[in-house]
Structure 1
Amino acid sequence: MQDLGEDRGTAPREKILNAPFLPALIAASMPVLYFFQERLPDQGLSMAFRAADLEQGRFSGLFTSMLLHGSWPHVAMNAVAALAFGAPVARLLGRGLAPLAFVALYICSGAVAALGYGLCHPGSLDPLVGASGAVFGLIGAATRLMGGGGRVLPLFHPAVLRASAAWMAVNLVAGLIGLAPGAEGARIAWEAHAFGFLFGILAVGPLGAWFGARPDLPQTRV
């Protein structure tokens, strides 16, 4: 008889794409959504966020704007970043309602990013599009996981402070100079990126404590 179980002399095969499902799904959704956006009569601008919307009591753009993009390079940049920085966050959140927590982190980061941009530019009619604010929320959350060995580092850990300063410096330079893929002719909303980053870096503390995959490791709430 032949043993059909695991061959103990053979090492297990590595997955070609070892990425958590939700970051991969978010990254894959971006080009699909942009494909359909290009075919809308108004290129999707009716779903963009405008700071003036806040004065009119219209808040749907806070959420719908993150479904839109300005160009294919813009799509590619956000999709790659969502996959790269969303993966460690998704791996951290592995208990209970962790999938919902990850989605909530992403969506709330995007909404807070757009809201922060609106508060910085009251009354502006310029349309804001892109998932960059939500992606920067994932970047902020991932910043507190680098070198943490599976746990969330304290907010004021030297490594977190150095990485945060570097990210915000790059964000500010890109916003002021306009050095970003697909940004030709469009202003980079660096303020939205900053607000999304801030939300993510703060929210990952309690989320790690509540939904962390390793309850035996201490998680920082701050």
Structure 2
Amino acid sequence: MPVLYLFQGWLPDGGLGLAFRPASLTDGQWWPGVLTAMFLHAGWVHVSMNAVGALAFAPPVARLGSGLRGALGFLLFYIVCGVVAALGYGLIHLESQDIMVGASGAVFGLLGAAIRLLGRRDGTLRPLTDRRTLTTATALMVVNALIGLIGFVPGGEAAGIAWEAHAFGFLFGFLTIGLWTRLFGPPRPAFDSTGDLRDPQA
């Protein structure tokens, strides 16, 4: 992310032409902002916060896959989380001409997926109905909404917080990581009946 931000500074308009504008969903100008906005940032504090978040939540999610297939699956998951976050934000603010940039929607998608792994060292996902998972997810979304409505974030005094994008990215990651793992994770081992099938001793 910091490297991309350096390149962003070299663009003639500072990358604003690649930002996402919600109203573009209705005026036919939606491409490419809905995809490229997640690779842009509004400043060093902004990019640093998202980079730290990605470093914290990406590894457990990435480890759900293996090899090239797993790497491609992880990258696709990250990108789709970011696109869903942008689209969700755009649908809520459909007439807004304000631009949105940042990878936080995608990062929140990773956070949502990582929560399904809480306390699981074997890489298995907690079910969607797990009380600990639901409690943690609810608390995070409440905090996210409060921060967004209050508008407090270090270094973000001059810009709004797209907390709705965070929520859409989070929910997508939280709800779909199981399906994603089945599609891009390692193949499940075939049934093996060569072991000792006797009842375990008491």
State TM-score, norm by structure 2: 0.87
Which residue in the other structure is 1:44 paired with?
A: 15
Q: Residue type matched to 1:186 in 2?
A: A
CA distance in 2, matches of 1:176, 1:38: 30
Which residue in the other structure is 2:84 paired with?
A: 112
Matches within 5 A, 1:144-183: 144-149=116-121, 150-183=123-156
Q: Is the 8 A contact 1:95 1:211 kept in 2?
A: no
Q: Is the 8 A contact 1:105 1:203 kept in 2?
A: no
Runs of 4+ in structure 1 deviating by more than 6 angstroms, as ranges, are none
Which residue in the other structure is 2:27 paired with?
A: 56
Structure 2 unaligned segments of length 5 or more: list them.
190-202
Match of 2:108 among 111, 116, 136: 136
Question: How many residues are aligned here?
Answer: 187
Q: CA deviation at 1:136?
A: 0.6
Which residue in the other structure is 2:48 paired with?
A: 76
Structure 1 unaligned segments of length 5 or more: list them.
1-29, 217-222
Q: CA deviation at 1:215?
A: 3.5
CA distance in 2, matches of 1:209, 1:32: 32
Matches within 5 A, 1:178-193: 178-193=151-166
CA distance in 2, matches of 1:182, 1:66: 18
Q: Is the 8 A contact 1:96 1:211 kept in 2?
A: no
CA distance in 2, matches of 1:214, 1:87: 20
**1:40–1:144 distance in 2 versus 1, CA, 3 Å:** same
Q: Is the 8 A contact 1:93 1:207 kept in 2?
A: no
CA distance in 1, matches of 2:36, 2:119: 34
1:33 aligns with 2:33: no
CA distance in 2, matches of 1:167, 1:176: 14
What is the Cα-based RMSD across aligned positions, in Å?
1.5
1:152-177 per-position Cα deviation (integer Å, ceiling 9, x unaligned): 11112111101101210121111011
CA distance in 2, matches of 1:141, 1:107: 14
1:123 aligns with 2:95: yes
Q: CA deviation at 1:209?
A: 2.7
Q: Is the 8 A contact 1:77 1:181 kept in 2?
A: no
Q: CA deviation at 1:121?
A: 0.4
Which residue in the other structure is 1:200 paired with?
A: 173
What's the % identity of the aligned pairs? 56
